[in-house]
Amino acid sequence: MIADDSVLLRSGIARLLEDEGFEVVAEVGDVDTLLAAVDEHRPDLAVVDVRMPPTFTDEGIHAALRIRREHPETGVLVLSQYVDEQSATTLLSWSAHSIGYLLKDRVPDIDGFVEALHRIRTGGSALDPEVVRQLMARSRDRTDTVADRLSPREYEVLSHMAEGLSNNAIAERLFVTPRSIEKHIRNIFVKLDLSHDEQDHHRRVLAVLRYLESVPARGEGRTTRGAALSG
User: What are the pLDDT digits (tens) for 52-96?
Assistant: 888 888 899 889 989 988 999 999 999 988 877 777 777 776 666
- Give a yes or no: residue 105 inside a domain: yes
Angle at 167 between CA 78 and CA 144, to 5 degrees: 70
For the chain, how many structural domains are there in total?
Answer: 1
Please tell me what DSSP assigns to residue 217. P
User: What are the pLDDT digits (tens) for 111-128?
Assistant: 889 988 998 998 888 888
pTM value? Answer: 0.68
Q: Residue 107's domain is classified under what CATH number?
A: 3.40.50.2300
- Give a yes or no: residue 167 inside a domain: no
> Taking the chain (231 residues) in consecutive chunks of 10 residues, what is each chunk's mean pLDDT?
94 94 96 96 96 88 91 93 77 76 83 90 84 66 65 88 84 94 91 67 70 48 28 24
Pairing of strands 125-127, 99-103: parallel
- Give a yes or no: residue 49 inside a domain: yes
Please tell me what DSSP assigns to residue 106. G
Are 37 and 6 within 8 A, CB to CB? no
- Give a yes or no: residue 61 inside a domain: yes
- Give a yes or no: residue 13 inside a domain: yes
- Give a yes or no: residue 123 inside a domain: yes
Closest CA to 63 of 73, 51, 100: 51
